[in-house]
Amino acid sequence: MMLRNHGWLPIVTLAVIGILGCGKSDGPVQQSAGSADRNVQSAASSNMPGNRAADTPEAACREFLEAMRTGNDEKAAQMLSEEAREKAAALGRSVTPSASDTARFAVGKVKFVGEDGAQVESTWTDIDVDNQPHSDHIVWVLRREQQDWRVVGMATVIFPGEPPLVLNFEKPDEVVKKQQWAREEIRRRAEKENLQAKEPENSENSMRR
C-alpha cells in the first residue's frame, strides 16, 4: 500500500480553525482586539432574525461546507454550536478558512441521534499534493439548538482500516492534541515507508557489487 501525505489533512485543519485559529500557517494566529470583537459580534448575530442557520442537518452541513470552500469565515463561525463559538471567543481565535476554487463536496445520508443530534455523511474532493483529484469521506456531528442545527464536530478516517479521527470542536485542547498527533503520525509513517522502499534498492546494489 502506498502511503502519502493524506490529501484531506489540510481540510481537517480548516474544519477546526474556528476553535484553534490555525489558519494558513503552523503558528498561532494573532488578531487585534477589534477583530476579536467583530468575531464575537458575528457569532452573536447568528441568532438574530434573517441570520438563522438551516433548519435541517443536511442544509446546515451544506452551508458550513460552502462557507469553508469559499473562505466565508463569518458564516463558518455562525454555523458552529454556541459552546464552540464561546470557546473560540474565549481563546481569542478567529475563523479564517482558505478558499479553494478546486474543492467540491456532496452531502449524503443523515443519521439522527436522540432528539437533538444528527450525523451527516459527506464527501470532500480537492486536488492533492500530486495535483490529482482526491476524495475523502467525512461524518459531521450536528446538534439542534433552539430551531437551528449547528456543527459540533467531525470524524474522518486518516489511515485506511483504522478507527476514524474524531474531533469535538467544543473541546479545543483535545482537538489540538489530536491534530498534532495526526500530523506527526502521517510524517512518521511516510518516513518509515520511504525507508522500506529504499531497503530493496540498497540490497540489490550490494549484490551487484
So what's the pLDDT on residue 146? 86
List pLDDT tens digits, range 131-164.
888 888 899 999 999 889 999 999 988 888 999 9
Q: Do residues 136 and 108 lie in contact, with contact meaning Cβ atoms separated by under 8 Å?
A: no
Which of 26-35, 68-77, 115-124, 190-199 shows the lowest mean pLDDT across its residues? Answer: 26-35
The number of folded domains in the chain is: 1
Residues in the chain: 209
**123 belongs to a structural domain:** yes
Q: What is the pLDDT of residue 1?
A: 33
**Maximum average pLDDT range among 20-29, 126-135, 149-158:** 149-158
As a whole number, the mean pLDDT across the chain is 74
| Residue 187 grid coordinates | 510524517
Provide the percentage of residues in the chain whose pLDDT is more than 70: 67
**Residues of the domain holding 111:** 9-208
Instruction: Locate all alpha helices (DSSP H) within the chain, ordered by sequence.
Output: 9-20, 33-45, 57-70, 73-78, 82-90, 172-208
Residue 207, pLDDT score:
60
* Per-residue pLDDT, 7: 42
Q: Is residue 4 part of a domain?
A: no
> For residue 123, what pLDDT band results from cuts at 50, 70 and 90?
very high
Q: How far is the CA of 104 from the CAs of 54, 157, 167, 178, in angstroms?
A: 20, 19, 22, 25
| pLDDT greater than 70 at residue 178 | yes
Q: Using one digit for the tens of pLDDT, what is the confidence trace for 54-102?
A: 789 999 999 999 988 888 888 888 899 999 888 877 776 655 556 788 8
Residue 61 near residue 121 (C-beta atoms within 8 A): no
Contact (Cβ atoms closer than 8 angstroms) between residue 140 and residue 61: yes
CATH number (domain holding residue 90): 3.10.450.50
Total Cβ atoms within 10 A of residue 56? 15
What pLDDT is recorded for position 204?
59
Mean pLDDT of 103-118: 95
pLDDT value of position 109 = 97
- 115 lies in some domain: yes
Residue 64 falls inside a structural domain = yes
